[in-house]
Amino acid sequence: MVNFKKARERMVQAQVMARGVHDERVLEAMRKVPRHLFVDEALRDQAYSDHPLPIAENQTISQPYIVGLMTESLELKGAEKVLEIGTGSGYQSAVLAELADRVFSIERHPELGYRANSILRNLGYDNVIIRVGDGSLGWPDDAPFDGIIVTAGTPMIPQPLIDQLAMGGRLIVPVGDRIAQDLILVQRGREGIKKTNLGGVRFVNLVGKWGWKE
């Protein structure tokens, strides 16, 4: 039987901090969220290892370091409204829920959306709202957002997401081909839109109007 709390601390130190994520609030959130409860029971012992893991519908829960890196890039202080595209297991949503005021998350597979919702409810995360649909269109009813995180790879940055970014807001999105992408940080400032490349990643495909076709 793995000691999950110890495994989580080791994960934070050896995988997340060691690779340069230093935002104390992000590290604290990752120490707290029980990642093993977001994966299949058979995979719980691997929940804190240094790689992504399969979830239902042929999708994956991201590698812990990538969750840390992407979350840190949003520079959340606590009062933000955040949008996530690709709820998947719900793990990233829980990390965001620890760090922001409200989290809106969209998943295209109903089954994943329902499951993530029930895990988040059981853990008491009442500041996360999950919707099933095409997240490449964003969530216009509740825009603008201070932070937007896309956890699936896309051939281009969906324009609706840029449009739904608040002044001073930050959007992090993997952009590239179906196999490999670059993490692009988009910041909306007074002088317009600024883009920074944070490096190479491999995500499952964003499937939707502004992503890939099936």
Binding site for ligand SAH (CB under 6 A): 57, 59-62, 85-86, 88-89, 91-92, 106-109, 112, 134-136, 151-152, 204, 206-208, 211
| Bridge partners (DSSP) listed for residue 181 | 176, 201
Q: Which is nearer to ligand SAH, 153 or 169 (CB)?
A: 153
Nearer to ligand SAH (CB atom), residue 138 or residue 169 = 138
One DSSP character per residue, the chain reads ---HHHHHHHHIIIIIITTT---HHHHHHHHHS-GGGGS-GGGGGGTTSSS-EE-GGG-EEPPHHHHHHHHHHT---SS-EEEEE--TTSHHHHHHHHHSSEEEEEESSHHHHHHHHHHHHHTT-TTEEEEES-GGG--GGG--EEEEEE-SBBSS--HHHHHTEEEEEEEEEEEESSS-EEEEEEEEETTEEEEEEEEEE--PBPBSTTSB--
Report the nearest approach of ligand SAH to the CB of residue 174 (Å).
10
CA distance 77 to 147: 11
Q: Is 21 exposed, middle or buried (0-12, 13-18, 19+ CB in 10 A)?
A: buried
Task: Return the number of the residue (35 or 188) whose C-beta is nearest ligand SAH.
Answer: 35
The residue (of 1 and 11) whose beta carbon lies closer to ligand SAH is 11
Q: For residues 58 and 190, which CB has a smaller minimum distance to ligand SAH in the complex?
A: 58
Question: Least distance from C-beta 173 to ligand SAH, angstroms?
Answer: 12
Name the catalytic one among 49, 62, 89, 93.
Answer: 62
Output the smallest distance, CB 191 to ligand SAH, in A.
30
Find the shortest distance in angstroms from Cβ 90 to ligand SAH: 6
**Nearest residue by C-beta to ligand SAH?**
88
Closest separation in Å from C-beta 94 to ligand SAH: 8
**Annotated catalytic residue 105:** no
Q: Which residues pair with 150 in a beta bridge?
A: 85
| Active-site residue set | 62
